[in-house]
Amino acid sequence: MVSKAALILQTGPAMSPARSPEFIDLLQRAMALHQAGALTEAGAIYAEVLVAAPEHAEALQLAGILAYQTADPARALDLYDLAIVQVPDNGPLHANRGLALQALDQPDAAILAFRQALSLDPTQANAQFNLGVLLQVRGEAEAALACYEQALLNAPDMVPAWLNLGAILRSQGNLEGALIACDRAIGLEPENAAAHANRGNVLKGLNQPDAALGAYDLALSLEANSPLVWSNRAMVLQDLGRWDEALQSCERAIGLHPDDPEAWLNQAVVLRGQGRLEAALASLDQALALNPNHAQAWSNRGNLLTDSRQIAAACESFDRAISLAPDLAEAHWGKGLACLVAGDFEVGLPLYEWRWRVPGLGLIPRGLDAPLWRGEVDLAGKTLLVHTEQGLGDSLQFCRYMVDLKARGARVVLEAEPALYDLFKTLEGVDQIVERGSPLPPINLHCPLLSLPLALGARAETLPDPGPYLKADPAKILAWDAWLEGRPGPRVGLVWSGGTLHRNDRNRSLALDTLIPALPLGPTYVCLQKDLREADRPALARRPDILWPGAALTDFTDTAALCDQMDLIISVDTSVAHLSGALGRPTWLLLPYSPDWRWQLDRTDSPWYSSLRLYRQAVPGDWASVLAAVQRDLGDMS
């Protein structure tokens, strides 16, 4: 939010020839009434003064200030222009003229007026600030930043300048600098609600949701009726997983400003996170009724329709968003995901490349000196660096392509996360593995791992079955076999939850209490999760037949060896599911109604892993039917 411009009330040095004592007394009386807020009385005397001396520059400027204050900027401009004829070198007069032009919605002329004022008197902090406001609104962030910095050199206690400075720094990604600016503003005005609200925005960007929530709550304690703060507060509560409170904040924002499409848009985000797709779609449609040209709302609508498995309608919404904002990366990427989940790799894979420009994903292109390989260059005799980019599950799934690259004649260098480094030593087709963060060897080309399907021309209907392409460490297999010795069979590995920071964790993960009724007695169950949520510990304690190795799972070579000892692995959509598939182990994958794109729709098998069997929710949130099928099939297996 850009802080508003300030009115410059000073008139500068004496601007008019000397007058009689009676005239001076009359003008001073008018000024006293003006400063006391008696504007009608002051205006009457200014009029009397100007009848007697129509070219009196000081009286013209004071009357112009009064006209501006009484919402008559056109009259103010006329008076300022008359005064400037008399005293063209008066800086504050040009600055006040800029404010009148700004109020008349003539920003270009106002900018010229402020620049003229500053050419006459560069120390005018208010003029510097007001010029910065206009430049900031016009999108000239760097120029606006320079204005605010100069204003603060001349008036370091100017709170609006600190606020606007912080807003620009935040937009530029300089969150630490923005936080300092907010703190300076708060230090000057501890009860400035906007400063606390801005500080909340910065802390949210710094991924400090608890601190951001505290800042928003403090802002609302000072100004409770700010719909924007209520709406931003909802987004932080969503980040904290406090969904009901987030929805209440959205409702408060909408109650305060029901005509704000952004408030409806944020409510749709929260409702989607709760799995309430129909309600979320209704909120988005309300946002679009208020602003039919809201590209982000159309893009979010496409996401919701993808969640509802209405792929054709989703693509229409994404296309509408793209027509309104051709550079909206979220819309291109969202359409790509919709096409991919429907099995249309030809359209989806090129659009998936927009992921690098989606702010929320936080992906940063490597910026290597070697050219990016997109499949167009012959690899024979060339060294190709393939670097991982997203989650561990993605790395485990797409490392399969190393053998294809080797078959094209490449010398393949694979850069891997530390957790996968030792496991990837078993991959075929890799000439050298480099742990991420280590120096890279000389290379001719590079390719992000998840761009390989595009570069290699992958199609859903022709994906080859590579069979098992990762291997477990034989020594660790023997160690886990000894650990499991004497346990009754069959051995069933379990993964019921993934990392809490995953953007879809609420929909993909289960509580152990929810899973346990589907697990009949008889098999030996082994928790394959390295980490255990506190809420699951009591349930685990009630089922001693569920073993948890815990800290013994130091990296993926340990997990791979333990997976090798399982007769069956039951997993939600996490990296362990990809690991078990890459090892060729029989795996039952439990999927939400709206799955990740790689699992596509409806099918019970996976083109990526022949050993996987897919169990899908029939409606959003319907784990009951999924677990009933698992219970039935486990019973048949025992």
What are the structural domain ranges in the chain?
1-156, 293-361, 383-458, 474-637
Tokens, residue 321: 């968003």
Tokens, residue 150: 């100069």
| Cα–Cα distance for residue pair 54/82, rounded to 1 Å | 9
- 535 vs 320, more confident: 320
Q: Residue 1: is its pLDDT beyond 80? A: no
pLDDT of amino acid 160:
95
pLDDT of amino acid 298:
98
What percent of the chain shows pLDDT beyond 90? Answer: 79
Residue type, 248: Q
Over residues 143-162, mean pLDDT:
96
17's CB contacts (< 8 A; 6+ apart) are none
Over residues 429-453, mean pLDDT:
95
- Confidence tier at 590 by pLDDT (50, 70, 90): very high
The secondary structure of residue 437, as a DSSP letter, is T
pLDDT of amino acid 530:
86
| Cα–Cα distance for residue pair 191/195, rounded to 1 Å | 8
- Cis peptide leading into residue 490 (ω within 30°): yes
- Confidence tier at 11 by pLDDT (50, 70, 90): very low
SS3 527: strand
The answer to whether the 1-156 and 293-361 domains have the same CATH topology is yes
| Cα–Cα distance for residue pair 253/224, rounded to 1 Å | 10
- Kindly give the pairing relationship between strand 445-448 and strand 383-387: parallel
Alpha helices in 141-276 (DSSP H): 141-154, 159-171, 175-188, 193-205, 209-222, 227-239, 243-256, 261-273
- Confidence tier at 610 by pLDDT (50, 70, 90): very high
3-state per-residue secondary structure call for 274-339? CCCHHHHHHHHHHHHHHCCCCHHHHHHHHHHHHHCCCHHHHHHHHHHHHHHCCCCHHHHHHHHHHH
Task: Classify 474-637 by CATH class.
Answer: alpha beta
Based on C-alpha coordinates, what's the Rg of the chain?
A: 33
Q: What is the dihedral of CA 343, 344, 346, 350, to 10 degrees?
A: -90
CB 577 within 8 A of CB 393: yes
- Confidence tier at 312 by pLDDT (50, 70, 90): very high
| Cα–Cα distance for residue pair 203/598, rounded to 1 Å | 34
Where b means 16+ CB within 10 Å and e means fewer, 430-467 reads beebbeeeeeeeebbbbbbbbbbbbbeebebeeeeebe
- Kindly give the pairing relationship between strand 445-448 and strand 491-495: unpaired
pLDDT of amino acid 292:
97
pLDDT of amino acid 591:
96
pLDDT of amino acid 501:
59
Q: What size, in residues, is the chain?
A: 638
Over residues 15-23, mean pLDDT:
66
Q: Which has the closest alpha carbon to 199: 223, 221, 175, 230?
A: 175
Tokens, residue 165: 């400075």
| Cα–Cα distance for residue pair 631/624, rounded to 1 Å | 10
| Cα–Cα distance for residue pair 470/549, rounded to 1 Å | 22
Tens-place pLDDT, residues 35-73? 899 999 998 998 988 888 888 988 899 999 999 999 999
Angle between helix 295-307 and 277-290 (nearest 10): 160
SS3 627: helix
| Cα–Cα distance for residue pair 528/28, rounded to 1 Å | 85
Task: Classify 1-156 by CATH class.
Answer: mainly alpha
| Cα–Cα distance for residue pair 122/119, rounded to 1 Å | 6
Mean pLDDT rounded to a whole number for the chain = 92
Tokens, residue 306: 């993808």
Q: Residue 477: is its pLDDT beyond 90? A: yes
Ramachandran class of 40: left when φ > 0, alpha when ψ lies in -120 to 50, beta otherwise: alpha
Tens-place pLDDT, residues 333-349? 999 999 999 999 999 99
Beta bridge partners of residue 445, listed in sequence order: 384
Where b means 16+ CB within 10 Å and e means fewer, 65-94 reads bbbbbeebbebbbbbbebbbebbeebbbbb
Q: Does pTM top 0.75 for this prediction?
A: yes
Tokens, residue 608: 């990526």
Q: Residue 355: is its pLDDT beyond 80? A: yes
Tens-place pLDDT, residues 290-304? 999 999 999 999 999
pLDDT of amino acid 302:
97
Q: Which has the closest alpha carbon to 42: 52, 50, 31, 51?
A: 31
Over residues 90-97, mean pLDDT:
93
Tens-place pLDDT, residues 242-280? 999 999 999 999 999 999 999 999 999 999 988 899 999
pLDDT of amino acid 3:
55
Q: Which has the closest alpha carbon to 400: 339, 450, 347?
A: 450
What percent of the chain shows pLDDT beyond 70? Answer: 96
Q: What is the dihedral of CA 93, 97, 103, 105, to 10 degrees?
A: -160
Residue 256 to residues 197, 226, 520, Cα–Cα distance (Å): 17, 8, 52
Q: What is the dihedral of CA 44, 8, 18, 27, to 10 degrees?
A: 20
Strand arrangement, sheet containing 587-591: 546-547, 524-527, 491-495, 568-572, 587-591, 612-616
Helix (H) or strand (E) holding 136: helix 125-137
The secondary structure of residue 3, as a DSSP letter, is P
pLDDT of amino acid 278:
93
Task: Classify 383-458 by CATH class.
Answer: alpha beta
Over residues 444-470, mean pLDDT:
93
Q: Residue 488: how many CB atoms within 10 A of its CB?
A: 10
- Confidence tier at 10 by pLDDT (50, 70, 90): very low
Tens-place pLDDT, residues 369-409? 899 999 999 999 999 999 999 889 999 999 999 999 999 99
Residue 475 to residues 68, 547, 551, 582, Cα–Cα distance (Å): 84, 21, 18, 19
Over residues 222-246, mean pLDDT:
94
pLDDT of amino acid 80:
93
| CATH code for the domain defined by 293-361 | 1.25.40.10
Q: Residue 449: is its pLDDT beyond 50? A: yes
